[in-house]
Amino acid sequence: MSATSTTLGTARAAAATRPGPTFARLMTAEWTKLTSLRSPWWVAGVTVAVAALITYLSAQASSGDPGFQPLDSLPSGLILAQVGPLVLGVLAGAGEFRTGAFRTTFTLAPRRWPVLAAQALSLTAFALATAVLATAACVVGLMPAVASRDITVDLTAGDTPGVLLGMVLLLVGLALFGFAVGVLLRRTVPAMLTALFLVLILPIVLMMASEPMVGGADTASLSSPDQVEQVGVLGTLVVASPGGAAQLMTTPASFGPMPGSPDLGPVGGGLVFGAWILVLLVAAAVRLRTRDVR
C-alpha cells in the first residue's frame, strides 16, 4: 500500500479549490442515482406496455358500437397505467430511507432540501419521458380499432391536443405525488398504500357517497333537473381530492362538470392536483429539514 500516500497526495493537490455540492452537481448525481437502479426502467417499460394494451382492448371492445368515437378511448389506457408513475415516485421517494442510502446522501449535502429538489427534478425528467411514450402508446393502441372501422382520426382537432397534454401531465404529476408521499412517510409500503388510496380509492368512495340515493334523497326529486345541477359538498370534495382533480386533467373540457361537482375543467383540475403535490413536497421538505434522519 505504498501507493496510498502518493495517490492521496496528488489528489489533494489537484483538488485545491475544492468546491462543494452546487445544485447542478446534485442534479447530475441524482440523475445517476435514479437511472442506475433497475426498478425505474422496469416500471417505465411496464407503464408504456400497459397503456398500449389497455387502450387497445378498450378500443376493440367499444369499436362495435354504432357511434364509435375512437378518441374517446384514448385516456382509457391510463386507468391502469397511471399506477406506474405513482409506484415510480413512491420508490424514488421512500427508497433512500428504506435502504439507508439517505445517510450517504445527506452527509454529502447536509442542507438536505436541495437534494429533495434535485431528486424531484430528475424524477420529473424521467417521468416526462415515460409519460410521452405511454401517451404515444395509447395512440398506437387505438390504431387497430380505427383501421378496422375505416375511420380517420385527427389528433390535432378539437379537445384531443388538450387531452393528450393532460395525459402526459397527469402521469408526470402522479410520479411527483408518489415521490412526495414517499419522502414524507419514508417507508415504501405505507407510502404506496397511502398514495394508491388518495389517488385511486378516495375519489371513488367520495363519488359513491355523493350519489343522491346514498344521501337519502327521495326518488321524486331525483328526476328534477335542478337537483342534478346542484353542487354538493361531497361533489366538491371529489374534485378537490388529489385523485379526483387529477382525473379531470384527461377529461375534455367539452364534457362539462361531473354531476354535483363544480366545473373546474382540465386546467382547474390540474391546478388543484398541482397544489396537492406542492403542499406534500413542502411538508416533506420541512420534515427533512427540521427532523433528524436516522
Partner 1 sequence: MIEVEALTKRYGSTTAVDGLTFTARPGTVTGFLGPNGAGKSTTMRMVVGLERPTSGSATVAGQRYADLPAPLHAVGVMLDTRSVHPGRTAYKHLLAMAQTHGIGKARVREVIAQTGLEPAAHRRAGTFSLGMGQRLGIAGALLGDPATLILDEPVNGLDPDGVLWIRRLVRDLAAEGRTVLLSSHLMHELALCADRVVIIGRGRLLADATVQEIVARSERAGTVRVRTTEPEALARELLAAGAQVAPQDGGALQVRGVSVDDVGTAAGRCGATVLELGSESGSLEEAYLQLTGDAVEYRAAGTQGGAR
Give me the residues that bind partner 1 (CB under 8 A), please. 1, 3-5, 7-9, 11-12, 15, 18-22, 25-26, 28-30, 32-33, 36-39, 95-96, 99-101, 103-104, 106-111, 292-294
Q: Are 117 and 209 in contact (CB under 8 A)?
A: no
Nearer to partner 1, 114 or 257 (CB): 114
Query: Minimal distance in Å, beta carbon 29 to partner 1?
Result: 4
Nearer to partner 1, 11 or 233 (CB): 11
Query: Minimal distance in Å, beta carbon 271 to partner 1?
Result: 34
Q: State the alpha helices, DSSP H only, in the chain.
A: 3-14, 23-35, 39-62, 78-81, 83-99, 102-108, 113-149, 160-185, 188-196, 202-209, 219-223, 225-229, 233-240, 242-248, 265-290
Nearer to partner 1, 18 or 154 (CB): 18
3-class DSSP assignment, residue 250: coil
Nearer to partner 1, 99 or 148 (CB): 99
Query: Minimal distance in Å, beta carbon 37 to partner 1?
Result: 5
Residue 239 CA to residue 246 CA, distance in Å, equals 8
Nearer to partner 1, 226 or 291 (CB): 291
Residue reference for cell 386507468: 79
Query: Minimal distance in Å, beta carbon 92 to partner 1?
Result: 11
Residue 272 CA to residue 263 CA, distance in Å, equals 12
Query: Minimal distance in Å, beta carbon 14 to partner 1?
Result: 9
Buried b (16+ CB within 10 A) or exposed e, 57-89: ebbeebbeeeebebbbbbbbbbbebbbbbbbbb
Query: Minimal distance in Å, beta carbon 19 to partner 1?
Result: 6
Residue 66 CA to residue 170 CA, distance in Å, equals 30
Nearer to partner 1, 38 or 152 (CB): 38
